[in-house]
Amino acid sequence: MKKGGYCHLEGDYYLLTCRVLLRRYLFKPDRAIINVFKWAFGVYAKEHGIRIFAVCVMSTHYHLVVLDTRGLVPTFLRDVNRSIANVIKARYRTSGAVFEQEPSKVKLHGAKGVVDKIAYVLANPVAAGAVRNPHEWPGFRTRLSDMGRLVVRGMRPEHYFGRRKTMPADASFEVDEAPIVVDAYGSEGAKEALTRALETKVAEARAEIRAKGWTYVGATRAMGVSPFKQAVAYEVFGARNPDLSTYGLTPEEAADVKREYIAFHIAYQDCRERLLRGESDLLWPPGTWVMVQHFGQRSWPLATAA
C-alpha cells in the first residue's frame, strides 16, 4: 500500500517536533528566543484550539506534546513556525529557510503513550547531552509541576513584529494536564506515572551518555555557542519518521489503530486515483487535510455514537 495524505481529526494527541535546517543552533537559549516561543505558542494555540502539555525548546529543534481539539494542528505549526522564522531572520539578519520542510507529527494513542512522550520531551536536554539534569537547561522547557498550574506568557517580539501593531502585544497559554492521562490514572496517579516515566527517561539518557563517553555541554556553553554553528552529533540518514505511536497499547488495541490507519490510506488513494481520472464529486475520508483545506474537496462526516 502506498501511503498518501495525512489524517488530522479533532481530539488527536501528538508529539510534534520541528527542526532547524542544517541543524544550526538558531534556537540557542536567551531571553529573546525564549520569549518568541512563549508568545507564538500563546497566540496560535488559542487561535487553533491546541492544548499544550509539554514543551522543550533545544538549540536545534523543539518538541511539543499537544491535544488538537479542532483538527488544525498543521495550521498551528504553519503559523508558529512562520512567526518564529521571521523573528529569527530579523534578529540574526539572515535569509532563507529556518526550518526543515516537514515537521514530525506523531499521533499518540492511549494514556501510556502520552505519558511516555511527555517524559521524552522533558528529558530531552539530558538525552541530547546538554545538561545532566533537565531543570539545568536554560532554554524554554516546562516541568511536570507546571501541568494544570502554570500560565506561560510572552510579549510581542521587537524583531520583525515590533511595528506590527495588529498582532497581540502579549499572549499566554496554560500548561495543561492531559485529559487522557488523568482519566486513566486519576489526578494523583497521573502525577506519579509521569514522575516515574521521567525518572526512567533521565536514567536511560545518562546511561547512554556514559556509554558513548560524552561529557555534558553545560548551560553556559549552550548559551554561548554561535547560532550559525551546526550540530555534529551523528544522526542516521533516512531514519524512519513515524506517523503514529501505539506504545502501551494491548496487541488488540494496536491492531485496531493500525487497521484504521490502513483504511484511511486505502480510501485516500482510491479518491486520489478517481480524481486523476477526472471525477470531481468526491468524498474523501474523514481527517483528510490538504485536499479539503487547500483544494476545496469534501470529506464524509465521522460516524457518531447512536
* Residue 174 grid coordinates: 496554560
Give the burial class of 116: count Cβ atoms within 10 A of its Cβ; 0-12 exposed, 13-18 middle, 19 or more buried: buried
* pLDDT one-digit tens code per residue, 251-305: 999 999 999 999 999 999 999 999 999 998 899 999 999 999 999 999 987 654 4
| Residue 3, pLDDT score | 63
Same domain, 94 and 146: yes
- State whether 240 and 257 are in the same domain: no
Q: Are residues 192 and 45 in the same domain?
A: yes
User: pLDDT at residue 48 above 80?
Assistant: yes
Q: Compute the distance between CA of residue 156 and CA of residue 167 in angstroms, rounded to an integer.
A: 7
Residues 159 and 264 placed together within one structural domain of the fold: no
Residue 144 pLDDT: 98
For residue 304, is it within any domain?
no
pLDDT at 303: 57
Are 191 and 263 in the same domain? Answer: no
Segment 214-241, tens digit of pLDDT: 999 999 999 999 999 999 765 655 566 7
Integer distance in angstroms from the first to the last C-alpha of the chain? 33
Euclidean distance between CA atoms 8 and 105, whole angstroms? 10
The answer as to whether 1 is a domain residue is no
Look up cell 479518491; give the residue.
271
* pLDDT at residue 164, as a whole number: 75
Clarify whether residues 262 and 245 are in a common domain.
no
User: Can you give the pLDDT at residue 306?
Assistant: 39
Mean pLDDT of 22-48: 97
pLDDT of residue 232: 79
Number of neighbours of residue 97 by Cβ within 10 angstroms: 11
The pLDDT value recorded for residue 166 is: 87
Q: Are strands 12-19 and 61-68 parallel, antiparallel or unpaired?
A: antiparallel
Same domain, 29 and 168: yes
Distance, CA of 182 to CA of 148 (rounded, Å): 11
* Domain identity same for 128 and 174: yes
Q: Are residues 141 and 285 in the same domain?
A: no
**pLDDT for the residue numbered 236:** 52
User: Is residue 192 domain-shared with residue 119, that is, in the same domain?
Assistant: yes
64: cell is 511539543
What's the alpha-carbon Rg for the chain, to the nearest Å? Answer: 20
CA distance to 77, 114, 177, 305, per residue, from 68 (Å):
11, 13, 14, 21
Q: What is the pLDDT of residues 179-215, one digit of tens each?
A: 999 999 999 999 999 999 999 999 999 999 999 999 9
Q: What total of structural domains would you count in the chain?
A: 2
What average pLDDT is seen over the chain? 94
For residue 259, give its domain range. 253-299
Percent of the chain with pLDDT over 90: 89
HSE toward the beta carbon, residue 40, CA cutoff 13 A: 27
**pLDDT value for 1:** 46
Using the 8-state DSSP alphabet, how is residue 147 labeled?
Answer: T
Q: Cβ distance 70 to 173 under 8 Å? A: no
203 and 288 co-located in one domain:
no
Range 191-221 burial, b when 16+ CB lie within 10 A, else e: bebbeebbeebbeebbeebeeeeeebbebee
